[in-house]
Amino acid sequence: MEDRIIRTEYSEVMQKSFIDYAMSVIIARALPDIRDGLKPVQRRTLYDMYELGIRYDRPYRKSARIVGDTMGKYHPHGDSSIYDCLVVMTQDFKKSIPLVDGHGNFGNIEGDGAAAMRYTEARLSKLTQENFLEDLDKNVVDFLPNFDETEKEPSVLPVKIPNFLINGSEGIAVGMATSTPPHNLAEVIDAEIAYMQDDSLSTKDLMKYIKGPDFPTGGIVINKDELPSIYETGVGKIRIRGRVEVEKGKNGHVNLVVTEIPYTMIGAGIGKFMADVAELQEKKITNDIVDISNQSSKEGIRIVIELKRDTDVENFTNLLYKKTKLEDTFGVNMLAIDNGRPETLSLKEIMRACADFQFEITTRKYQTLLAKEQDKKEIQEGLIKACNVIDLVIEILRGSKDRPMAKNCLVNGVTDGINFKSRESRAMAAQLLFTDRQADAILDMRLYKLIGLELDALIKEHEQTVANIYKYEDILESHESMSMVIQNELTQIKKEYQKKRLTEIDNRETAVYEEKPMEEMDVAFIMDRFGYAKTIDVSTYEKNKETIEAEFRFSFVMKNTGKICFFTNTGNLHTVKAMDLPQAKMRDKGVPIDNVSNFDTSKESVVLASSQSDLNLFRLLFTTKQSMMKIVDGGEFDVSKRTVAATKLSEDDEVVSVEILHTQKTVVLKSNDGFFLRFPVDNVPEKKKAAVGVRGMRLGKNDYVRDVYFLEDMEEKTIDHNSKTLNLGHLKVTSRDTKGTKVRV
């Protein structure tokens, strides 16, 4: 037993296991192969459709059938990944050239998902069938066993075009990711042909053909000067803008219409863009927006933003570029599997890899075709020779006892046991010497082949076979001839499938938005006991002041350019700009303060809300649960950060009260056990916000400060205590840091 135990370092086992796992994900799942530009799931799905006979000129088949067959034979990783792959390969807004022809709901550019696989149907597109899968029967690529070694699958598809560039790719592996933008098919083919004609061309030279990415969604690439560096290194950032047009609207308004979007906005990004535009108005960053609507249809994108008459359209457009995804960045990392290794490739290296692959598959294709033609030539020559001595052949066949005897005579000239009409026939038969394949063809030949026209056709077919052999040998022996064959195929593909470029390549200046100075005015801030806050018009506030003070927890008048300070029981100060709150009507709900600040509703509660400008004029008195008190100058809370510590707390302590001091003379502390202590406010020292403070009241065991009250000079204030009324003004004024008096009433 001891001999079977392998002792090894645990870290080495973990390292090896992780590397094996990482390489499995990189090679077999997430990254495309540079040769066909496909990930394994894409390759397997297309090959399975080819095997099932789901061709472009045949009826559609259920997606569920395709997914199930692919999963059962080649890709045992779950049906969702296969169906998602199938869906993406049908979407013309994600792929420059869709590889699958879908029938049914396969989702849309606005992010709506595809229907379930049981409802949709698909078949291969014509381009995919003719240029991705057509030559699989010619031994152009290697076939490997599938996961359970019951089927064979191609290691790579014999793709005739640089699909890696044309359709782009996205994938996240372990420790690396690929992100390649799509390109225009005609431009990529032109660059590939140019490279084949002169492989010394640099990336800069190739960019005379490939101007830059060509996104299916159009848009404008605005950093043209940075593209050479991106294509030279294979890494960089492409800045894309949507295309906007200005139209006349109703009532003299101006309509800003988005007709093309950045590629990165596909899906939920369109809804997010509209929400971001609406938020610009809500946050009062702009007041120019009247309405926004999405009028997109099958004809294309059309997002209409209705603007006021006097709007500076150029300035507003720049605002959209700065504050929304109408201008976005596409991160480029042209990473692919090249010679079995993940490599980040330049444009020239991609052209080199694709050209090398074309020469490889073309060589194997014509080697296969040549072998077939040579086999045909051998048989044709045997049949022609047999027709020339057909009487002798018939005599051999009639005189033989069985097929092996006749074949032995035709191949080896053995005449023993065969009955001939004459010695001359036997002598001639001994000299025939056909090959095995020729002999089999002669023995299988039908009598109608002896008709004169059939013999003429056989001779013409032989002449064509000889011509084909000469042609194929020339292609295989001459690099130039093979290059011309590939170039002619590429030219034909370009002629049939080329499309007009959609994305404009240009240099544009960085968008500059001149923010209009906000007109300063008074607004009223109100917040209810549930933490919903808003600002309202001051006149509305004055008319409903009594109702507001009764129904809302905090309310005060402030400037719309100011900040609101929220002091919490945890000792934090959260600041919110008044402009971040909606200016609403009296009965509107408002927004939760945790939506516009770092406030944590699960841990914090608001003790005081005040405008920052008011705090600068006064001092604040802090009181905690453990009876620690201090006065802090309000100017200390004029901070730029959204959240700061307003006071220092001991363990298990929290803030009970924060009071802005105006003319208050005495403070009354009430403990949970019913003790009251009244003493002058001046007894509390002024300290910095980072200090803990001093003790205000001596507390008994497990007792704590429950409430804090403030009284003006000679003020009478009553509270409910033990279901009875207590006049705080009748309490005796004593000193701080005493136990106080237990009031039973």
Per-residue pLDDT tens digits for 300-348: 899 999 998 888 899 999 999 999 999 999 999 999 989 888 899 999 9
Higher pLDDT, 174 or 353: 353
Q: What is the mean pLDDT of residues 671-697?
A: 92
pLDDT at 682 over 70: yes
pLDDT band at 449 (very low <50, low <70, confident <90, very high): low
Mean pLDDT score across all residues of the chain: 89
pLDDT tens digit string along 65-96?
999 999 999 998 889 999 999 999 999 999 99
Return the minimum-mean-pLDDT range out of 276-290, 441-455, 531-545, 699-713.
441-455
Longest dimension (CA), the chain: 154
Q: What is the pLDDT of residue 236?
A: 94
Return the minimum-mean-pLDDT range out of 19-33, 401-415, 699-713, 719-733.
19-33
Categorise residue 450: left if φ over 0, alpha if ψ from -120 to 50, beta otherwise: alpha
Higher pLDDT, 281 or 317: 317
pLDDT at 507 over 60: yes
- What CA–CA distance (Å, rounded) separates 697 from 675? 9
Q: What is the pLDDT of residue 155?
A: 93
pLDDT band at 465 (very low <50, low <70, confident <90, very high): very high
pLDDT at 169 over 80: yes
Q: What is the pLDDT of residue 616?
A: 87
Return the minimum-mean-pLDDT range out of 9-23, 24-38, 341-355.
9-23
Q: What is the pLDDT of residue 36?
A: 93
Q: What is the pLDDT of residue 430?
A: 84
Q: What is the pLDDT of residue 140?
A: 94
Q: Decide if 576 contacts 564 (C-beta within 8 A).
A: yes
pLDDT band at 1 (very low <50, low <70, confident <90, very high): very low
Helix (H) or strand (E) holding 179: strand 177-180
Residue whose tokens read 């009876």? 627
Q: Decide if 324 contacts 276 (C-beta within 8 A).
A: yes
pLDDT at 662 over 80: yes
pLDDT at 176 over 60: yes
Angle, vertex CA 684, rays to CA 683 and CA 688, nearest 5: 150
pLDDT at 701 over 70: yes
pLDDT tens digit string along 592-614?
998 888 888 888 999 999 999 88
Q: What is the mean pLDDT of residues 233-257?
A: 91
Residues, the chain: 745
The alpha carbon dihedral of 315, 318, 320, 322 has a sign of negative
- What CA–CA distance (Å, rounded) separates 572 from 224? 48
Domains of the chain (ranges; CATH) run: 243-325 (3.30.1360.40), 359-496 (1.10.268.10), 522-742 (2.120.10.90)
Q: What is the pLDDT of residue 363?
A: 95
Distances 279 to 235, 273, 535 between C-alpha atoms, Å: 34, 10, 16
Residues designated catalytic: 119
Q: What is the mean pLDDT of residues 499-512?
A: 90
Residue whose tokens read 């001091």? 661
pLDDT at 16 over 80: no
Q: What is the pLDDT of residue 22?
A: 57
Q: Decide if 49 contacts 69 (C-beta within 8 A).
A: no
Q: pTM for the full model?
A: 0.74
Q: What is the pLDDT of residue 446?
A: 78
Q: Is 679 helix (H, G, I), strand (E, B) or coil?
A: strand
pLDDT at 253 over 90: no
Q: What is the pLDDT of residue 51?
A: 94
DSSP label at 13? H
pLDDT at 184 over 50: yes
pLDDT at 386 over 50: yes
pLDDT at 207 over 70: yes
Q: How far is CA 283 from the centre of its chain?
A: 29
Helix (H) or strand (E) holding 534: strand 532-537
